[in-house]
């Protein structure tokens, strides 16, 4: 009666085989979605080229970023291959090619480090406020509200004036002003997650609160957080430009795209357009590619948003 049928056996092994299919992880899903997004991939490539240019560009430079070329300044400093000033010279006769490379590097670094700082402070603040709730949450969020009501520029200026101008201070100042919105987003997300069943399940099975935060809350936050951080990078570059413009940012001979643009804008009435055009082109390229990459990341990590 209980005869073994080959067919049934095959079917059974087939079924167990299927049920043993490895689950697809969230991240692998996201990566596949991102790789399907043509615009984001192209932008990632362009951004990679910009980074490559910053790294390899100096080897092709004829002039360094500080030497003044007395023979080619102002209107005669046009971009040309003969003089070795591929992007022309700036108002003082310095090579714009070298300076653009330096500025692009600085701006990219400012964007990444500023966004990174915002990421760390904002996540810590938001998760603690959102997870523990109660009076701690009210106090922490009230502080964020008050800080949000102060114009960022003022805080930036104050920090830079009190602590003195340097790269480190600049990064700390940028981080100090940029984590607020991140903290709010993270808090809202944490509060939404906290009520979900899988957190309740983890709690019921005796997982400690720290472990719940690390293993269950943080990974689920990542999607939103990465997307917002990628949108923060251009913001940071802009904020740095702003304080450089006020003369409180990166000081000479270092430079950033923001300072180069404002220098170029100051002299455009004399017909030296290349002084504005090259830094501007790099700036706009970086910002647009960052936007597309951020968008691609959002589509990939938060698919229900579409």
Residues that bind other proteins (CB under 8 A): 142, 145-146, 148-151, 153-154, 157-158, 161-162, 234, 238, 241-242, 245-247, 258, 261, 264-265, 268-269, 273, 276, 280, 283-284, 287-288, 291-292, 295, 305-306
Q: How far is the CB of 254 from other proteins (least distance, A)?
A: 20
User: Token digits for 170?
Assistant: 């600049």
What is the per-residue DSSP string for 22-74? PPPPHHHHHHHHHHH-HHHHHHHHHHHHHHHHHHHGGGG-SS-SS-B-TTS-G
Q: How far is the CB of 21 from other proteins (least distance, A)?
A: 29
Q: Which of 159, 162, 180 is nearest to 243 (CA)?
A: 159
Q: How far is the CB of 101 from other proteins (least distance, A)?
A: 20
End-to-end CA distance of the chain: 56
Q: Smaller CB distance to other proteins: residue 68 or 112?
A: 112
CA distance 189 to 186: 5
Name, in order, each residue with C-beta under 8 angstroms of 96's C-beta and a sequence gap of 6 or more.
77, 79, 85, 87, 88, 89, 90, 260, 274, 275, 278
Q: Smaller CB distance to other proteins: residue 5 or 252?
A: 252
Q: Smaller CB distance to other proteins: residue 83 or 189?
A: 189
Q: Smaller CB distance to other proteins: residue 202 or 286?
A: 286
Q: Smaller CB distance to other proteins: residue 63 or 283?
A: 283
Q: How far is the CB of 304 from other proteins (least distance, A)?
A: 8
Q: How far is the CB of 6 from other proteins (least distance, A)?
A: 48
64 to each of 45, 97, 109, 256, how far by Cα in Å? Answer: 27, 9, 20, 16
């Amino acid at each position: 009666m209980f005869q073994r049928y080959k067919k049934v056996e095959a079917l059974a092994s087939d079924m167990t085989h299927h049920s043993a299919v490895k689950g697809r992880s969230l991240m692998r899903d996201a990566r596949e979605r991102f790789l399907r997004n043509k615009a984001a991939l192209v932008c990632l490539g362009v951004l990679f080229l910009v980074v490559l240019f910053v790294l390899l560009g100096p080897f092709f430079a004829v002039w360094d970023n500080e030497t003044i070329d007395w023979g080619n300044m102002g209107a005669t400093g046009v971009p040309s291959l003969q003089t070795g000033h591929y992007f022309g010279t700036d108002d003082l006769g310095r090579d714009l090619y070298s300076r653009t490379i330096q500025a692009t590097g600085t701006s990219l670094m400012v964007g990444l480090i500023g966004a990174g700082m915002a990421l760390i402070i904002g996540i810590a603040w938001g998760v603690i406020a959102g997870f523990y709730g109660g009076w701690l949450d009210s106090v922490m969020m009230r502080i964020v509200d008050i800080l949000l009501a102060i114009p960022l520029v003022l805080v930036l200026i104050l920090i830079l004036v009190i602590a003195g101008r340097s790269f480190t201070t600049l990064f700390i100042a940028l981080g100090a002003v940029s984590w607020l919105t991140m903290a709010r987003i993270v808090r809202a997300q944490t509060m939404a997650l906290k009520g979900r069943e899988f957190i309740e399940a983890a709690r019921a099975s005796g997982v400690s609160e720290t472990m719940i935060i690390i293993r269950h809350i943080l990974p689920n936050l990542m999607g939103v957080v990465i997307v917002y951080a990628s949108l923060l990078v251009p913001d940071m570059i802009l904020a740095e430009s702003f304080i450089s413009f006020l003369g409180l940012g990166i000081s000479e001979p270092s430079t950033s795209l923001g300072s180069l643009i404002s220098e170029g804008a100051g002299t455009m009435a004399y017909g030296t357009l290349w002084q504005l055009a090259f830094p501007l082109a790099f700036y706009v390229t970086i910002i647009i590619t960052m936007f597309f990459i951020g968008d691609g990341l959002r589509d990939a990590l938060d698919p229900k948003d579409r």
